[in-house]
A and B are shown apart, each in its own frame.
Chain A
Amino acid sequence: MLNLPEVFLNELIKYRLENDEKVTSFNLVEIIKIFMDVFKAQVNQESHVDLYNEFISIESDLEHLFSDIDKLKPYKMVKKDIPSASSELAEVIKQTEQATNTILDSLEQIQMISGSMEDKETAQMIDSLCLGMMESCNFQDLSGQRIKKVITIFANIEKFINSSLKHLNIPKNEDDLREENLFTEFEKKKGRHLLNGPQTQAEAPDQKAIDDIFNSN
Chain B
Amino acid sequence: MAVDKSMPILIVDDYKTMLRIIKNLLSQLGFVNVEEATNGAMALTKLKETKYSLIISDWNMEPMTGLELLRKVRTDDALKSIPFIMVTAESKPDNVIAAKQAGVNNYIVKPFNAETLKSKLVSVLGEFE
A interface list, Cβ under 8 A from B: 190-192, 194-199, 204-207, 210-211, 213-214, 217
Q: Which of B91, B95, B97, B98 has the most CB of A within 10 A?
A: B91
B interface list, Cβ under 8 A from A: 59-60, 65, 67-68, 89-98, 100-101, 106-110, 112, 116
Q: Which of B60, B90, B96, B106 has the most CB of A within 10 A?
A: B96
Chain A facing B: main interface SS? loop
Cβ-closest chain B residue relative to A99 = B111
Hey, which chain B residues are within 8 Å of A191, CB to CB? Answer: 65, 67-68, 98
- In the assembled complex, the Cα of A213 lies from the Cα of B112 at a distance in Å of 17
Q: Is the CB of A198 within 8 A of B94?
A: no
Q: Is the CB of A204 within 8 A of B68?
A: no
Hey, which chain B residues are within 8 Å of A192, CB to CB? Answer: 65
- In the assembled complex, the Cα of A205 lies from the Cα of B96 at a distance in Å of 12
Q: Is the CB of B110 within 8 A of A198?
A: yes
Hey, which chain A residues are within 8 Å of B93, CB to CB? Answer: 213
Cβ-closest chain A residue relative to B100 = A217
B99 CB, nearest partner CB in chain A, Å: 8
Q: Is the CB of A199 within 8 A of B92?
A: yes
In the assembled complex, 13 residue pairs joining A and B whose CB atoms fall closer than 8 Å, in A order, are A194-B92, A194-B94, A194-B95, A195-B59, A195-B60, A195-B90, A198-B90, A205-B91, A205-B109, A206-B109, A207-B109, A214-B106, A217-B96
Q: Which of B59, B89, B93, B97 has the most CB of A within 10 A?
A: B93
Q: Is the CB of B107 within 8 A of A214?
A: yes
- Interchain CB contact (< 8 A) of B90 among A196, A206, A211, A214: A196
Hey, which chain B residues are within 8 Å of A196, CB to CB? Answer: 90, 92, 95
- Interchain CB contact (< 8 A) of A190 among B59, B68, B95, B106: B68
Cβ-closest chain B residue relative to A190 = B68
Q: Is the CB of A207 within 8 A of B116?
A: yes
Cβ-closest chain A residue relative to B108 = A207
Cβ-closest chain B residue relative to A205 = B91
Hey, which chain B residues are within 8 Å of A214, CB to CB? Answer: 96, 100, 106-107
